[in-house]
Amino acid sequence: MSYTFSIEDLLRGDRRTMARAISSIENGDGNADAILSSVYRHTGNAYRVGITGPPGAGKSTLTNKLARWYRKRNVRVGILAVDPTSPFTGGALLGDRIRMTDVELDDGVFIRSMASRGSLGGLSKKTREAADVLDASGVDVILLETVGVGQSELDIAGAADSTIVVLVPESGDGIQAMKAGLMEIADFFVLNKADRPGAEQAVMSIKMILGFRPHDETTWLPDVLKTVGSEGKGVQEVGEMILKHRSHLEQNGGLRVRRRQRMKSRIEEIVQDQMKVEFWNAGRLQKLSDDLDSVIALQKTPYQVAKELINTL
Amino acid sequence: MSYTFSIEDLLRGDRRTMARAISSIENGDGNADAILSSVYRHTGNAYRVGITGPPGAGKSTLTNKLARWYRKRNVRVGILAVDPTSPFTGGALLGDRIRMTDVELDDGVFIRSMASRGSLGGLSKKTREAADVLDASGVDVILLETVGVGQSELDIAGAADSTIVVLVPESGDGIQAMKAGLMEIADFFVLNKADRPGAEQAVMSIKMILGFRPHDETTWLPDVLKTVGSEGKGVQEVGEMILKHRSHLEQNGGLRVRRRQRMKSRIEEIVQDQMKVEFWNAGRLQKLSDDLDSVIALQKTPYQVAKELINTL
């Protein structure tokens, strides 16, 4: 499918152009490079909010309610929902369908699921690029919602200006969340479904673990907010906490530091991806395939084969 | 800390040598390369079982009970628990302490936590290498327990001969598990804490989703087993299902295919890690740092900088 990408259409926020541009990036089709190059210089205006947490914590509902809160303030919102695909049922498709019944769409909200198609490595890169498209199209806030608690998803959420970790009373005693690496990336926590039993203990437990964190007066201390996403309870406080964190980051220069660090990782990632593509040409893939039998037969070690491959550079 | 690694000590299963060898690999110290090279040709005997699932599903308890079941059959067991570290509280340490009170140790069980230290990318490689050490030391079964449900943890679990996905009734309606990418890697499922309300519905829901999977008579169909890990209920059935899956794989050649595929990914990973280390020398890191300001100022795109860096090759 070929089409002509128009940066002007994107800049005026044409939804069809936004959708197509993100599809090009997701599929890595012929338009992707041109889109990315022309989009980048129009970025930097949107504030990026990562929303993550374990499956079933109610992130989608909370994200939708938060989008609605923004809309009341006339803020344009983009939502990127990272949704690992099941190859046999089409996870992202299903995810989209679930969302559609669940959210009130208006022209000021653009929602898109990013599917992994089995290669989460590239997903973090593609999600950032899709965020650039939304940024250039004029949205004010981008909500990066990641389903799952793995490192790749953490990378995506952590690539935001503010990161919210959503937990529920059932998430366990905070040690589970800590194990999942969620504690390190949270700018603040939301305990969702806070009308369920155990909510107070869960909040205490998260706060106790946060207490271990080294800090002084100038440090931002992550707080724990309680919400009932399905009823919209506490959503306003979440929105206000994002604003508070943003103004904290802007005042102490933290936003600049974060964006610089984020761009550094991003360039490293582009370099690594590109090297990988260039390295694995037909000849090297053939050598790898030929040598596999010797490795399986314990005649060569995987390290020898790797070294021989690198030496062909 | 310097010591002399003895492959003979490792081959006779000396626990101190096993522990030190894994530490060398984990820290990437001066002994690591020599250990890996000498260990590899003594691998291939241990059967590797991946155990994964969302945080709080009771994987550790189940793994410990399963180890005990193996011990009764006089099978030597190695456990590698992949445990993302919290930089401010030391997650892996804490994890170890929790385990120690929880498991009955005997000389036939070797337990080790693998900590991420913030770089999950390398963790999958290091976990496979630690498994090689255990394999060479003469353990019969290696249980690779991964905390979390992210892609890196899935990679580790998926690097096993048989992969078990542990869920609980609270894990939600199966759609959550599917979203987390767990459905694709499971050779069978364990619904743990099956004495809790909702267990039957959870089993039905997983089976329903599994029903979508394309299959014919020769295909292995993942089953769902119920356990109550804390009481040891159903653990024997889990052990027997592992044996059943193993013999299925051995009969149809699937084990050979899996191990070949696994070795292919592993060599690719070694190549990529090595290229990364060699690429990012002081000069290139300096150029990246110098160019960051232009990128932040939107004067250059990250793609241009990446291309310029690659062109220095």
Going by the DSSP 8-state scheme, the letter that residue A240 receives in this structure is H
- What was the pLDDT predicted at A271? 93
CA A60/CA A40 separation, integer angstroms: 28
- What was the pLDDT predicted at B102? 47
pLDDT per position as a tens digit, B99-136 = 544 445 677 899 988 875 544 456 778 889 999 999 99
If asked whether residues B224 and B148 sit together in one domain, one would say yes
Size of interface A-B (CB pairs under 8 A): 223
pLDDT per position as a tens digit, B74-95 = 999 999 988 654 333 333 334 4
If asked whether residues A235 and A300 sit together in one domain, one would say no
CA B137/CA A179 separation, integer angstroms: 29
Are B52 and B154 in contact by the 8 Å Cβ rule? The answer is yes
Q: Read off the pLDDT band of B73 (50, 70, 90).
A: very high
Res B217 pLDDT > 70: no
Where chain A has pLDDT below 50, the residues are 85-98, 100-103, 118-120, 173
- State the smallest CA–CA distance between residue A141 and chain B in angstroms: 19
pLDDT per position as a tens digit, B227-258 = 999 999 999 999 999 999 999 999 999 999 99
Structural domain span for residue A291: 280-311
Q: What percentage of residues in chain A have a pLDDT greater than 90?
A: 54
Place of tokens 């004067």: B299
Report yes or no on B240 lying in a domain.
yes
Nearest CA in chain B to A295: B263
CA distances in angstroms from B60 to A169, B82, B177, listed in the order given: 21, 11, 19
Q: Do A212 and B88 touch (CB under 8 A)?
A: yes
Mean pLDDT value across residues B208-226? 79
Report yes or no on A22 lying in a domain.
no
If asked whether residues B205 and B298 sit together in one domain, one would say no
If asked whether residues A186 and A286 sit together in one domain, one would say no
- What was the pLDDT predicted at A286? 95
Query: Helix (H, G, I), strand (E, B), or coil: what is residue B195?
Result: coil
Q: Do A184 and B87 touch (CB under 8 A)?
A: yes
Q: Which residues contact A46 (CB under 8 A, 6 or more apart)?
A: A78, A131, A134, A135, A139, A140, A141, A142
Of B172, B178, B309, the CB nearest to A91: B178
**Strands, DSSP E only, in chain A?**
47-52, 77-83, 109-115, 141-146, 162-167, 188-191, 224-226
Please state the pTM of the whole predicted model: 0.75
Q: Is A310 on the interface with B (CB under 8 A)?
A: yes
Instruction: Pick the more confident residue, B209 or B50.
Output: B50
Interface test with A, best of B301, B305, B309 (most A CBs within 10 A): B301
CA A224/CA A201 separation, integer angstroms: 12
Give the count of domains, chain A: 2
ipTM of the complex: 0.81
Res B98 pLDDT > 60: no
Number of neighbouring beta carbons within 10 Å of residue A81: 23
Q: What percentage of residues in chain B have a pLDDT greater than 90?
A: 54
Q: Do A310 and B41 touch (CB under 8 A)?
A: no
If asked whether residues B187 and B301 sit together in one domain, one would say no
Mean pLDDT value across residues B272-282? 91
pLDDT per position as a tens digit, B168-199 = 887 654 566 665 667 778 899 999 999 999 89
Number of neighbouring beta carbons within 10 Å of residue B235: 22
Q: Which residues contact B211 (CB under 8 A, 6 or more apart)?
A: none
- State the smallest CA–CA distance between residue A72 and chain B in angstroms: 31
Report yes or no on A259 lying in a domain.
no
Of B36, B91, B302, the CB nearest to A263: B302
Query: Helix (H, G, I), strand (E, B), or coil: what is residue A300?
Result: coil
If asked whether residues A210 and A305 sit together in one domain, one would say no
If asked whether residues B247 and B98 sit together in one domain, one would say yes
- What was the pLDDT predicted at A184? 75
- What was the pLDDT predicted at B91? 36
If asked whether residues B242 and B284 sit together in one domain, one would say no
Q: Is B213 on the interface with A (CB under 8 A)?
A: yes
Query: Helix (H, G, I), strand (E, B), or coil: what is residue A118?
Result: coil
User: Which long-range CB contacts under 8 A does B241-245 form with residues at least 24 apart?
Assistant: B241/B188, B242/B47, B242/B49, B242/B162, B242/B164, B245/B162, B245/B187, B245/B188, B245/B220
If asked whether residues A158 and A54 sit together in one domain, one would say yes
Report yes or no on B92 lying in a domain.
yes
Q: Which of B202, B233, B252 is the last residue of a domain?
A: B252
Q: Which of A110, A147, A149, A155 is nearest to A128 (CA)?
A: A155
Res B261 pLDDT > 60: yes
Q: Which helix (H) or strand (E) holds B82?
A: strand B77-83
Are B35 and B25 in contact by the 8 Å Cβ rule? The answer is yes
Question: The CATH number of the domain where A139 resides is what?
Answer: 3.40.50.300
Of B152, B264, B313, the CB nearest to A150: B152
Angle, in degrees to the nearest 10, between helices B15-27 and B120-136: 160
Sign, CA torsion A151/A152/A154/A159: positive
Report yes or no on B274 lying in a domain.
no
Q: Is B153 on the interface with A (CB under 8 A)?
A: yes
CA A217/CA A215 separation, integer angstroms: 7
Nearest CA in chain B to A275: B310
If asked whether residues A177 and A285 sit together in one domain, one would say no
Q: Is A41 on the interface with B (CB under 8 A)?
A: yes
Nearest CA in chain A to B183: A86
Are A196 and A181 in contact by the 8 Å Cβ rule? The answer is no
Nearest CA in chain A to B215: A88
If asked whether residues B248 and B285 sit together in one domain, one would say no
pLDDT per position as a tens digit, A80-119 = 988 654 333 333 334 443 454 444 567 789 998 887 554 4
If asked whether residues B132 and B93 sit together in one domain, one would say yes
Report yes or no on B123 lying in a domain.
yes
- What was the pLDDT predicted at B85? 44
Q: Is A265 on the interface with B (CB under 8 A)?
A: no
